[in-house]
Amino acid sequence: MSSRTAYWNSRYQRGRIWGDDPCRSALLANDYFKRYHVRNVLVPGCGYGRNSFYFALQGFDVTAFDISDMAINQAVEYANSQSVKNIHYEVGDIFDQRFFQEKKFDGVYLSNVIHLFLKTERQNLMDRISSLLKPKGVFAFSCISIYDSNNYGIGNEIEPNTFIKHEGKPLHFFDEQEIKTLLQPHYRILDQRLHVQTESDPNGDSEDLQLWFVAAEKLW
């Protein structure tokens, strides 16, 4: 078991640690998915499924996965208890090139995932997302911003704007220009805005996060 898998399994041992309501970014993403006629949605790093479950209720065919088998077990159990059939869950790693090798999606949603990696991994993640998204598909995601005064600058800075506040969990803080650079030249940005999301941190304390929401259309 990788250290990353062990970390998230330890988090999900506490159960549905962020509740059952979808993230604000999922609600915003839903609007763009419907506007751009998305039919199927991929949700990498889905955790225990609160956002993927929401997308299924909105009528999308949802494929979702996470490296934490504990999270996926919770997600499957909850979907089955609600008799929701249009979700397919798997345990898997987004960096595994064999994963979904032959499949592409109309939409991809990523909630608070991309800021958990170092620079090289972030670029690898973007390349992988692009390989799984159809031309004219919609990529919607949230990530932590440099305006998050509760977290920015706290801990050891291991790369520019990347800090270790909690052991084993790097946080990279994005500014406006970095998001544009990350998406160029393959995407057209449809929306980029700040929003607040209240979450439980690794210590179990509640915190308000200043996040970016971004929706972008893949150009080719």
Q: What is the CATH number of the domain that holds 158?
A: 3.40.50.150
Domain that residue 40 falls in: 3-218
What total of structural domains would you count in the chain? 1
- Residue-by-residue pLDDT tens, the chain, 220 positions: 677 778 777 877 777 877 789 999 999 999 999 999 999 999 999 999 999 999 999 999 999 999 999 999 999 999 999 999 999 999 999 888 877 777 899 999 999 999 999 999 999 999 999 999 999 999 999 999 999 998 999 999 999 999 998 877 899 999 999 999 999 999 999 999 999 998 776 666 778 999 999 999 999 8
Residue 49 buriedness (CB in 10 A; 0-12 / 13-18 / 19+)? buried
Q: In whole angstroms, how far apart are CA 30 and each of 55, 58, 124, 186, 189?
A: 7, 8, 25, 22, 16
Distance separating alpha carbons of residues 179 and 176, to the nearest angstrom = 6
Helix (H) or strand (E) run with residue 138 in it: strand 133-144
pTM over 0.85: yes
The residues, ordered by sequence, that sit 6+ positions from 177 with a Cβ below 8 Å of its Cβ are none
